[in-house]
A and B are shown apart, each in its own frame.
Chain A
Amino acid sequence: MSTGINWAKYSSPQALYPLAGRLIPWFSVVAVALMGVGLYMGFFVAPTDFQQGESYRIIFVHVPAAWMSMFLYVVMAIWAGIGLGLNARPSFMMAQAIAPTGAMFTFLALLTGAMWGKPTWGAWWVWDARLTSELILLFQYAGVMLLRTSIDDVRRADRSSAVFALVGVVNVPIIYFSVQWWNTLHQGASVSMSTGSKMAATMLIAMLLMTLAFWMYSIAIILSRVRCIMAERESLPAWEEKPVTIQKIAEAR
């Protein structure tokens, strides 16, 4: 996730660990602030919708969560690919750190989608191409995580879950374009690069703020998770933290 950072320098856990520690509070604060503003705009500023009334407001969680679920999968696959290509442990650690957050957003997208589908379509769930492919994405995240935990040898676990993640990446364009390629009950994209936005401006701004908030949240949580993974794998050498902190982690283990 830490794009824009010189990875060559931070490709060693020893350098990444303290850097991540310094970045986490900033991303967390920005995430909370953006989420506050985004939800306020979504629920109190954005107008009601002409056909769905108030029920459309779940879009402010649903769409950003669905976007994150696909985006995080691609990022995870890229780290997995870099890890396989370079034999780089920190890349595998990043891929491992991303999976639970991606799965969480996939679940959130499915859950909010069901809550939205009932009042608008009249059904919690339908087996159309969009919903089914997103459900498969959840299984893919679960598969990546399960495969990792089912193999004891860390290197083998890294490599096999990386291959799994890479293979699964074909599903992401299928999810995204499913509403164009096939007849689906799910509506088409409201916001896209080619046709622009089909939403009122305040609705769009609130949705984009929530997207940004989810980004910041993901960065913060993934960085803190990658720190845990490093501490776990590297048997806690004293890279940065005060001895007391390391003592605590060691006791917690």
Chain B
Amino acid sequence: MKPRHKRFVFIGLGLLALGVATVLVLNAFQKNLVFFFTPTMVANGEAPQGQSFRIGGMVEDGSLVRDGDGLTVHFVVTDTAKSVPVTYKGILPDLFKEGKGAVAQGKLGADGTFVASEVLAKHDENYMPPEAAEALAKAKASGAQESKSLVVPANKKDSL
């Protein structure tokens, strides 16, 4: 082997080792790298207890209730398997809608209600004109397929 071949082999092996190390590290920190926990993870006790965390999922259809003060809202975040009721006082982002994704930061109360201090809207990766969206909604009503990758973990991707 010529010296330069040796150097390339060395670089290749170095990158390979680095890649393996990265995979191992990322796997070890898997839990710290998620931006939010799904209601199922919360139900399984995977979310941190007694401290602030984020919960994410779909805002359940028909669950959004606004209090008399016009600021406090109640809604239910679901991943279709489990759901968690959320209370939030503040201004919701424009894209916050029932049936769409949302991420809320706050604490889980003793009664199982999540008291949020911040609510973010999570939109999906589909872009289309409103007419196309209407057509899709009609097609969906008649049982056709649609994108399924909004907020739900890989094994539960049948929510949208």
Contact = CB atoms under 8 A, between A and B. Distances in A.
Given A84-B11, A85-B7, A119-B94, A188 B127 contact: no
Interface residues of A, number: 40
Interface string B4-28: 1001100100110011001000100
B95 A51 contact: yes
A52 interface: yes
Contact of A120 (B35, B36, B93): B93
B93 A200 contact: no
A183 B38 contact: yes
A120 B126 contact: no
Nearest to B23: A170
Interface in B108-160: 118-130, 132-134, 147, 149, 151, 153
A200 B126 CA distance: 9
Contacts of A44: none
Interface residues of B, number: 46
Contact of A123 (B18, B96, B120): B120
Given A182-B33, A198-B147, A85 B123 contact: no
B129 A81 contact: no
A200 B151 CA distance: 22
Nearest to B136: A50
B1 interface: no
B103 interface: yes
A188 B126 CA distance: 9
- Output the residue of A48, A59, A167, A198 with the most chain B CB within 10 A: A198
A189 B129 contact: no
Interface string A188-206: 1110000000111001000
Interface of B: 4, 7-8, 11, 14-15, 18-19, 22, 26, 30, 33-38, 56, 92-97, 100, 103, 118-130, 132-134, 147, 149, 151, 153
Interchain residue pairs A-B with the least CB separation, the first 5:
A122-B93, A50-B133, A47-B129, A128-B35, A187-B125
Interface of A: 47-52, 56, 59, 81, 84-87, 119-123, 126-129, 166-167, 169-170, 174, 181-185, 187-190, 198-200, 203
